[in-house]
């Protein structure tokens, strides 16, 4: 039974109202029109417990694109299909401390193996590994996994995809480098299409909270009553979220919030609280948390989202 009461929901509303003001320290991503148009004052949150009980505040149902949060789902998908060791032969599990789209370490780390699947080089490699001979087949595999989680077919925001595609020079450069070093399992343009379409899937905070919830429960989908991913794969994904999920701010986030999380450049943050044996915890059975706040900092993380999560972790004593 949920331990949520009116008092706690009012508290959450107040925090959202307060942290929304912090957003002025960030800016919406501006490299494509759809992201530039987002309202920087938006801040929304959805928390889902294993019972399906949902707590929301602020602009929780405003749609946004998954962007880098998709990297967690594609990594899980590739591991489910190939097994963990096949995937880890092609992408490492080390944090970099560099920007998400950094090129520099690819050549430093001979023979060019990407450092982790949460940065672009690793994520593009993972997208190329999805099963199928064409981008469509690879995407269908990913969409089916997404649908298993959310019970609805994912919708790609075509406008976002097209502008990502036309402006993706750095990702194209990364992909060519990966192709040269042998880490790409398909053609450059095919890997890019898969990667950029998965980034352009439209969601709201409820859907990413649901993904978080399933990760909190080590791959068990409580609403379906079914283990949908192997426990080991999900634990690995969470370790990567904790160490690399917030880009080059992952260390600080682990220190001050202490929850596995993945952010995206559109301002989404997917995070979770694992089940904890503390009677006074508001979510002893664990929960998934989805946040949307499009004004981001220089690392690419939602400013208001991170500051709201700091308060939640502190006040509700989760870490
Ligand atoms: N589409 C963006 C990119 O690949 C997504 C990255 C992100 O969310 N940080 O550059």
Q: What's the pLDDT tens digit per position in 216-226?
A: 999 999 999 99
- My answer on whether 122 and 223 are in the same domain is no
195 is an active site residue: yes
- My answer on whether 196 and 211 are in the same domain is no
What are 68's two structure tokens?
């880098």
- My answer on whether 139 and 32 are in the same domain is no
Report pLDDT for 97: 78
What is the ipTM, given to two decimal places? 0.94
164 is in an annotated binding site: yes
Report the CATH number that the domain containing residue 224 is assigned in CATH: 3.40.710.10
- Mean pLDDT calculated for residue range 202-221: 98
Instruction: Band the pLDDT of 277: cuts 50, 70, 90.
Output: low
- My answer on whether 236 and 289 are in the same domain is yes
Report pLDDT for 278: 62
Residues 6+ away with beta carbon under 8 Å from 271: 212, 241, 257, 259, 260, 261, 262, 288, 289, 291, 309
Within-domain flag for 1: no
Single out the residue of 316, 308, 314, 317 nearest to residue 57, CA to CA: 308
Checking if the pLDDT of 301 tops 80, the result is yes
- Mean pLDDT calculated for residue range 47-59: 94
The mean pLDDT of the chain is: 93
User: 71, 120, 170, 244: which to mutate for ligand 1, most atoms within 8 A of CB?
Assistant: 120
Of the two residues 247 and 66, the one the predictor is more confident about is 66
141 is an active site residue: no
Domain count, the chain: 2
- My answer on whether 37 and 100 are in the same domain is no
Instruction: Band the pLDDT of 112: cuts 50, 70, 90.
Output: confident
Domain endpoint, select from 142, 169, 201 = 201
Within-domain flag for 146: yes
- Mean pLDDT calculated for residue range 62-66: 98
199 lines ligand 1 (CB under 6 A): yes
Residues 6+ away with beta carbon under 8 Å from 169: none
Segment holding 10, helix H or strand E: helix 6-20
Tell me the pTM.
Answer: 0.95
247 is an active site residue: yes
- My answer on whether 78 and 180 are in the same domain is yes
Largest CA distance in the chain: 57
Domain endpoint, select from 177, 201, 225 = 201
279: how many CB neighbours lie within 10 A of its CB? 7
Domain endpoint, select from 153, 173, 201 = 201
User: 38, 72, 264: which to mutate for ligand 1, most atoms within 8 A of CB?
Assistant: 264
- My answer on whether 125 and 159 are in the same domain is yes
265 is in an annotated binding site: yes
The one catalytic residue among 16, 54, 70, 71: 71
160 is an active site residue: no
First to last CA, the chain: 22
Reported as a single tens digit per residue, the pLDDT across 71-106 is: 999 999 999 999 999 999 999 999 887 777 888 777
- My answer on whether 76 and 117 are in the same domain is yes
- My answer on whether 35 and 117 are in the same domain is no
Checking if the pLDDT of 172 tops 60, the result is yes
- Rounded Cα distance between 253 and 275, Å, is 20
Q: By residue range, what is the domain housing residue 118?
A: 70-201
Checking if the pLDDT of 2 tops 60, the result is no
Instruction: Band the pLDDT of 1: cuts 50, 70, 90.
Output: very low
Report pLDDT for 108: 78
- My answer on whether 114 and 216 are in the same domain is no
Within-domain flag for 249: yes
């Amino acid at each position: 039974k949920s331990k949520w009461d009116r008092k706690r929901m009012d508290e959450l509303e107040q925090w959202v109202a307060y942290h929304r003001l912090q957003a002025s320290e960030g800016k919406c991503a501006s490299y494509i029109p759809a992201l530039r148009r987002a309202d920087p004052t938006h801040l929304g949150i959805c928390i889902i417990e294993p019972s399906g009980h949902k707590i929301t505040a602020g602009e929780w149902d405003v749609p946004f694109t998954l962007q880098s949060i998709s990297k967690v789902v594609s990594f899980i998908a590739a591991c489910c299909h190939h097994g963990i060791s096949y995937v880890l032969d092609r992408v490492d599990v080390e944090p970099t401390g560099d920007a998400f789209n950094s090129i520099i370490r690819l050549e430093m780390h001979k023979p060019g193996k990407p450092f982790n699947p949460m940065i672009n080089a690793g994520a593009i490699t993972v997208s190329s590994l999805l099963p199928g001979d064409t981008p469509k087949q690879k995407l269908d595999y990913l969409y089916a996994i997404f649908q298993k989680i959310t019970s609805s077919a994912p919708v790609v925001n075509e406008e976002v995809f097209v502008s990502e595609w036309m402006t993706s020079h750095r990702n194209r450069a990364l992909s060519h480098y990966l192709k040269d070093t042998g880490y790409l399992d398909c053609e450059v343009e095919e890997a890019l299409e898969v990667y950029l379409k998965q980034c352009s899937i439209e969601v709201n905070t409820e859907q990413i909270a649901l993904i978080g919830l399933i990760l909190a429960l080590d791959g068990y989908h409580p609403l379906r009553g079914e283990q949908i991913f192997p426990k080991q794969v999900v634990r690995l994904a969470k370790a990567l979220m904790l160490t690399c999920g917030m880009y080059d701010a992952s260390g600080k986030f682990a220190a001050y919030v202490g929850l596995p999380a993945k952010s995206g450049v559109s301002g989404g943050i997917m995070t979770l609280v694992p089940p904890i044996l503390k009677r006074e915890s508001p979510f002893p059975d664990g929960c998934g948390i989805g946040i949307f706040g499009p004004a981001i900092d220089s690392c690419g993380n939602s400013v208001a989202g991170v500051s709201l999560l700091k308060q939640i972790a502190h006040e509700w004593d989760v870490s």
